[in-house]
Each structure stands twice: as structure tokens, then as C-alpha cells.
Structure 1
């Protein structure tokens, strides 16, 4: 097992992720909220377009939180919470703000989880694409 330290997600990187996701949404004509959390689930950066629906602020944070807690894109988890699926009771079993709607993506550095981004306000597919575009800018 590797014990090499991996640099945490910085506030500057979180701000850059928010800006990149916001630019992608703007280019698509969508008004969104974007939240970036560190690996411990703490908010590092947030922006809500002043025309975005108010609930998008909450959904963006919950998508990022779900993604960081399960280390998976929320788009990949939607089927896992359907009736009869392995995580069906997870959204109600925990007193945590989990949200299984596309738009949350974990952020990795050197293969290690360092945080997550969540986007809310567009369609689930749009939110996922805006978050993915932002993560790609980290390189």
C-alpha cells in the first residue's frame, strides 16, 4: 500500500473548478449552482448564478457530497438506489444529504480522492457534463 502523500484540493483549484463549470453552463445557456467539497466533505467553493433556481444551491452541494462519500459520479449511482437495487435504502437510512441525481463527480489526484464537484440547475445530463468539463481542466 502506498503511503505517498497526495496534495489536497486547494481553494484556488476549487475556485477554478467552479469557474470552469460555470463557463460550461453559460456556454450552454444554463443557469446553475456549483459546489466543490474537499475529501472530508467540507465546502471549499460555491457559486449560484443569480438566475438559477434556489434549490440548485442545495442540490449542487448534495451531489458533491454524495460523490465524495461514495467516490463515484452520481450519474453512475442512479440505478443503485432504485427499488430492489443494492443501495435502495441508502438515501433514507442515513441522516446525510445524499442525492442520487447526475451532476456530482469525484476529483482525484494521482489516483487518490481529493474532493468532489456538484452542479445543479440544468438537466441531470447537463449538470454531469458541466462538472465533467470542469474536472478535465484540472489536468
Structure 2
């Protein structure tokens, strides 16, 4: 029995910057000041941008949203119910000493079906942040 491993190109700095530009453009068009974090598959920071007028906490929330989306390979918008009482991940936010944040705005980035990074957006309402992150990922594809 033979197995073949297919390498998938990692998320690059130019791609990370393109994700920032796409999310920022969408947010700007909506009149929302945001912070945007891009992480590679290892959870390392590739790019970050906070608009001058974004609330200061947006930088932290964008990073935690990206980290959560990366670690669980899922959109944070899809995980909100899972941390509610009785949900599958109800105790996860307190069980780990990690910067997880279960608020919409974090989206994993895939290439050829493989996880290569994540984007997190903070500063708008959760549904806005999710829309900005999703638009950026779609623009990258």
C-alpha cells in the first residue's frame, strides 16, 4: 500500500496583506473601523492592521478570533452556540489557558482543502466582523 503526501503551499505574506486589504475595504465601505489579524497555520502572526478609529480592544479581539478559528478549523460564528450552557464546548473557554474567543469574526483559510491560516476581524458588530472576514477569504480564492 502506497501513500502520497501532497504539499500545500503555505499562506504567504503577500496573501496575508491581500486578506487585510480585502477585509479593510469591505469594512471601510460599510463605515466600520476595524482591526484585522492574519495567522499562518502554526498560529504565527503574518499581518495585522488596526484602523486609527477602531476601538482599542479590536486588536485583541481580532487576534483571539483568528486563533480560535485556526485551532478549531471553524468559523467563530459557527461556534457561538457550542459554548453556551449545554453546548459541546461549554467549558472549553475556561478549561484552556489559550486566547480563545467565541464571537463571530474569525474564519479559517484553506487551500486545496487544507488549513493554511486564519483571519480575525474585530471592531464592528459580530455579524459585520464575520462578513468582512468572509469577504476577504472569498476574495483570496
TM-score w.r.t. the length of structure 2 is: 0.97
**Residue pairs, 1:10-49, within 5 angstroms:** 10-49=12-51
For residues 126 and 2 of structure 1, the distance between their equivalents in structure 2, rounded to whole angstroms, comes to: 41
Alpha-carbon offset, residue 3 of structure 1 = 1.3
Indicate the RMSD between aligned Cα atoms, in angstroms: 0.8
- The answer for the alignment partner of 1:63 in structure 2 is 65
Aligned pair count? 139
Unaligned runs of 5+ in 1: none
Alpha-carbon offset, residue 2 of structure 1 = 5.3
Alpha-carbon offset, residue 68 of structure 1 = 0.2
Question: What is the DSSP-based 3-state SS (H/G/I as helix, E as strand, rest coil) of the residue aligned with 1:115?
Answer: strand
Larger Rg: 2
* Segments of 4+ moved more than 3 angstroms: none
Unaligned runs of 5+ in 2: none
Alpha-carbon offset, residue 4 of structure 1 = 0.1
- The answer for the alignment partner of 1:101 in structure 2 is 103
| CA gap 1:32/1:2 in 2 versus in 1, 3 angstroms | farther
